[in-house]
Amino acid sequence: MAKILIPTPLRQFTGGADIIEASGASVGEVLAALTTAHPDLKKNLYNDEGKLRSFVNIYVNDEDIRYLSKEATSIAAGDTVSIIPSIAGGR
């Protein structure tokens, strides 16, 4: 089981829960379990091609999965998966 930390804007799709536990051997599997349990999250996390949206960052513990094995990144029991909104801007 991994703990998934849900950012505030997405808690409306998890019944208000800020932490969801989900099982899976990889990030992709854990997120699939999450979106199966909470289907409304899917469109917020994935684009129409089924790929993670560019403004969604996924971290396992303190590591960005882009610099690990992306969605194939292994998950061990007790790992924390963070969904981090990408926030940027400028003039």
Partner 1 sequence: MIELSPAAWAVMVEHAQNCYPNECCGILIGSESDGKRLAILAVACRNAYDGEQKDRFEIDPRDQIAAERKSRELSLGVLGFFHSHPDEAAYFSQTDLKNHWPFYSNVVMSVRAREVKDAKCFRVDVDQTASTEEELTWPKS
Return residues touching partner 1 (CB under 8 A): 5, 7-9, 18, 55, 57, 59, 62, 64, 82, 84-91
Tell me whether residue 11 or residue 36 sits nearer to partner 1 (CB atom): 11
- The distance of closest approach from Cβ of residue 5 to partner 1 in the complex, given in angstroms and rounded to an integer, is 7
DSSP 31-77: HHHHHHHSGGGHHHHB-TTSPBPTTEEEEETTEEGGGTTGGG-B--T
- Of 5 and 36, the one with the shorter C-beta distance to partner 1 is 5
32 or 56, CB closer to partner 1?
56
- To the nearest whole angstrom, how small is the minimum distance from the Cβ of residue 7 to partner 1? 7
CB of 26 to partner 1, least distance (A): 20
Sequence-ordered list of residues with C-beta below 8 angstroms from that of 71, at least 6 positions apart, any chain: 26, 27, 28, 31, 52, 58, 65
Type of residue numbered 23 = S
